[in-house]
Amino acid sequence: MRKGFVRLLLLAACLLGLTACAPKQDAAETPRLLLGFSQLGSESSYRIGNTRDIEAQAEAYGISLMMKNANQKQENQIADIRSLIAYRVDVIAFSPIVEDGWDTVLIEAKRAGIPVVLVDRTINTKDESLYAGLIGSDFYREGVMAAEYLIRKADRLGREQINIVEIRGTENSTPMKQRQQGFMDTIAGDRRMHLLSSVDGDFLRSRGAECMRDLLKTYGRQIDAVFSHNDEMTIGALPEIEKAGMVPGKDILLISIDGGQDAIDILKEGKINCIVECTPKLGSILMETAVRLKNGEPVERVIHPEEQVFTDEDDLSHLAPRGY
Ligand code: GYE
């Protein structure tokens, strides 16, 4: 009886010891994947939400993250990627601020045998082998959806002409080029749509305000609608419209992109008419992709997240907090 009890105790101790030891052994045998991420800056709630999401998902996946921030300068971003190569991270991911000028540094990454993933924006290159894949929104479709809303709104208001001003994102960046293209291609089929002017707002709130002030000075009450390439510039433009004695959302229709909480709240107040969602939550897809690349497995060339449109036609009272 006593012998049996002692044996049982020994067995239990053994099992406990095994389970306590097992994870430690695994952790020692499998080094954590080291992901280097070069973020382009902190210009918007999208960008800050994107950085946070990547940090949170790296943690959730048990991936070590080396995060760099280029503060809106391509030269900083190239230097950041070089330092990730020198550090010999397992995978490099980056959000290219503009499309051109990456070949040299990406050839260096390739020579070092480090796979590269593009996040959010794409690049212009003749050598498609310089990156494994792209995880980011379908910006062309976002532009199309913005224009489709405006066409629907013109129908509902019974307007014969809509004079539009466009405030564009960063010059030579993918979202700027594709949102503009999608929007222009779509309004081209509707004779009521008339573009008064298109200006560069660099995705910044301060520039959105400046652009709107200038546009109002030149065109005043002729402006019927603003197509702004992101929430930040829209939020900058809004008080300028009010200062000019007009009611945003009524006298001037506002169409924005991103769908951060602040902009959604303004949409609910009726001062923004339409926001096309552009989700910054790309972190979990990025982590899955990094793991696959580390294991030498193939990855999808392009992954677009699901996105929706929020408008003054919708009941948004039950919309979950946006998280960015
Ligand atoms: O819409 C804007 C940001 O690249 C999709 O960049 C991104 C854009 C986003 O700063 O707010």
Element at 67 (helix H, strand E): strand 64-69
Please identify every stretch of the chain with a pLDDT value under 70, giving residue numbers as ranges. 1-30
Assess if residue 296 is contained within a domain.
Answer: yes
pLDDT of residue 9: 41
- Any bridge partners for residue 37, and if so which? 67, 93
pLDDT value of residue 152:
98
125 shares its domain with 159: no
Q: Are residues 215 and 85 in the same domain?
A: no
In this structure, are 182 and 291 located in the same domain? Answer: no
In this prediction, residue 8 carries a pLDDT of 42
Is 170 in the same domain as 231?
yes
The answer to whether residue 324 is domain-embedded is no
Residue nearest to atom 10 of ligand 1 (CA): 44
Q: Please tell me whether residues 234 and 224 are part of one structural domain.
A: yes
Task: State which ligand 1 atom lies nearest to the alpha carbon of 41.
Answer: 10
Q: Residues 103, 233: one domain?
A: no
Q: How high is the pLDDT of residue 3?
A: 46
Kindly state whether residue 261 falls inside one of the protein's structural domains.
Answer: yes
CB within 8 Å of 273: residues ≥ 6 apart: 149, 153, 249, 253, 254, 255, 267, 311, 312
Range of the domain at 54: 31-137+280-307
**Spacing, Cα 65 to ligand 1 middle (Å):** 22
User: Number of structural domains, the chain?
Assistant: 2
What's the CA gap between 153 and 187, in Å, rounded?
Answer: 13
Query: Model-level pTM?
Result: 0.90
> Which pLDDT belongs to residue 31?
77
CB 287 within 8 A of CB 268: no
Same domain, 68 and 143: no
CATH number at residue 296: 3.40.50.2300
Exposed e or buried b per residue across 195-228, where buried means at least 16 C-beta atoms within 10 angstroms of its C-beta: beebbebbbbbebbbbbbbebbeeeeeebbbbbb
What per-residue confidence (pLDDT) applies to 29?
59
- Cα(174) to centroid(ligand 1), Å: 9
**Same structural domain, 258 and 298:** no
Q: Are residues 68 and 167 in the same domain?
A: no
76 falls within a domain: yes
In a domain, 21, yes or no: no
**Predicted local confidence at residue 145, as pLDDT:** 98
3-class SS at 233?
helix
The domain boundary, picked from 278, 294, 315, lies at 278
DSSP label at 252? B
Distance from Cα 205 to the centre of ligand 1, integer Å: 12
Q: Is 297 in the same domain as 171?
A: no
- 252 falls within a domain: yes
Question: Do 179 and 264 belong together in one domain?
Answer: yes
Point out the domain boundary residue: 259, 278, 297: 278
Ligand 1: lining residues by beta carbon, under 6 Å: 43-44, 46-47, 120-121, 137, 175, 203, 230, 232, 257-258, 278
